[in-house]
Amino acid sequence: MYRRENYTHRIYSALEIPMNPDETVNEENLRRLVEYELSQGVEGFYCSGSSGEALLLTLEEREKVLEILLDQVRGRVPVIPQIGTIRTKDVIELAKHAAELGVEAVSMIPPYYYQFTMEEIIGYYRDVLEAVPGLGIIVYNIPQFTGIEFSKENAHGLLELPGIVGVKHTSRNLYSMERMKAAYPELILFNGFDEQFAGSLAMGADAAIGTTVNVFAPLFLEIRSLFEAGKVQAALEKQAELNRRVEILCRCGIFSGVKYILTKRGIDCGDCRRPFGQLREEAKKALDQIV
């Protein structure tokens, strides 16, 4: 059963998944990566999201990744699997699997590609809630990938559903995030864009889930600590430090770039799955500046 206090006020790594050269999941290095990130101060893991190449994994692989992660974490921090995909039956399968493993809360992208109506999207979330009672669901708002931007106005029928416990807000519209928070204060609002972390705190974010947390967790912890101490200017200066790194990563390809940095730090994460391409040499040289 979902308990809010287990999930709020945390910085989560949107966990990258180490791959072998044949594109199979590298279980040994996934376990090593978890331990490395915990040692860096990571306070939770979000798996099989965009950073985890979820839509390039089979359902069986997504289930296996969650099993490995939970086994390695051993309850030290919360784990939130992203179970969304286009087919409701598949999402329900992943939801039931997560619940059987003891997961309290999952996250779901909305169904994509067919330009579903909001009524159909709400039905998709409702179907999962009814199939797995007691499981908390965090709506994944990532319009640049799904084409769907959730807001207080268009998603009130979704956000009011019993069992919807939060929103992962990977949108640059912080006003919309603040308005959702004001209307639904019981929901946990997770900032999803690392480059606006400090700004999201000012607008009421309760937690953060980020790709670059994989490699820069101490910076996130420092930004939050400074902000909460009222040292806003110092927090913004640290945010600028983070953003200089994010800028290079975005220019090179953020998911592949983070894997490259982790590999340089001693945990071979391989390449992202095709159709992602391999990093060019000039990109590696740029990333070497921030390793």
Give the distance, in angstroms, between the CA of residue 31 and the centroid of all CA atoms in the same chain. Answer: 18
How many helices (H) and strands (E) would you count in the chain? 12, 8
Task: For tokens 């069986």, name the residue.
Answer: 60
**Ramachandran area for residue 270 (φ above 0: left; ψ -120 to 50: alpha; else beta):** left
Phi, psi (rounded to 5 degrees) for 267? -120, 100
> Which residues have a Cβ under 8 Å from the Cβ of 89 and sit 6 or more positions away?
none
Q: Are strands 79-81 and 11-14 parallel, antiparallel or unpaired?
A: unpaired
pLDDT recorded at residue 220: 98
Query: Residue 223: which H helix or E strand, with range?
Result: helix 213-228
CA distance 62 to 286: 32
Cross-strand partners of 207 = 190
Residue type, 256: S
CA atoms within 13 A on the CB side of 274: 3
Residue type, 12: Y
Residue type, 193: F
Active site members: 140, 168
Among residues 255, 218, 234, 198, the alpha carbon closest in space to that of 208 is found at 198
Q: Is the alpha carbon torsion for 117, 118, 120, 124 positive or negative?
A: positive
How confident is the prediction along the chain (291 residues), in pLDDT tens digits per residue?
Answer: 789 999 999 999 999 999 999 999 999 999 999 999 999 999 999 999 999 999 999 999 999 999 999 999 999 999 999 999 999 999 999 999 999 999 999 999 999 999 999 999 999 999 999 999 999 999 999 999 999 999 999 999 999 999 999 999 999 999 999 999 999 999 999 999 999 999 999 999 999 999 999 999 999 999 999 999 999 999 999 999 999 999 999 999 999 999 999 999 999 999 999 999 999 999 999 999 988
pLDDT recorded at residue 7: 97
CA distance 159 to 289: 42
For residue 136, the SS3 value is: strand
Q: Which domains does the chain have, with CATH numbers?
A: 4-229 (3.20.20.70)
Among residues 49, 41, 55, the alpha carbon closest in space to that of 80 is found at 49
> Which residues have a Cβ under 8 Å from the Cβ of 229 and sit 6 or more positions away?
none
Q: Identify whether the C-beta of residue 250 lies closer than 8 Å to the C-beta of residue 193.
A: no
CA distance 49 to 51: 5
For residue range 198-215, what is the model confidence (pLDDT) as tens digits?
999 999 999 999 999 999
pLDDT recorded at residue 259: 98
Residue type, 234: A
CA distance 47 to 252: 22
pLDDT recorded at residue 106: 98
Q: Identify whether the C-beta of residue 26 lies closer than 8 Å to the C-beta of residue 270.
A: yes
Q: What pTM was estimated for this model as a whole? A: 0.97
pLDDT recorded at residue 1: 78
Q: Identify whether the C-beta of residue 147 lies closer than 8 Å to the C-beta of residue 115.
A: yes
pLDDT recorded at residue 291: 83
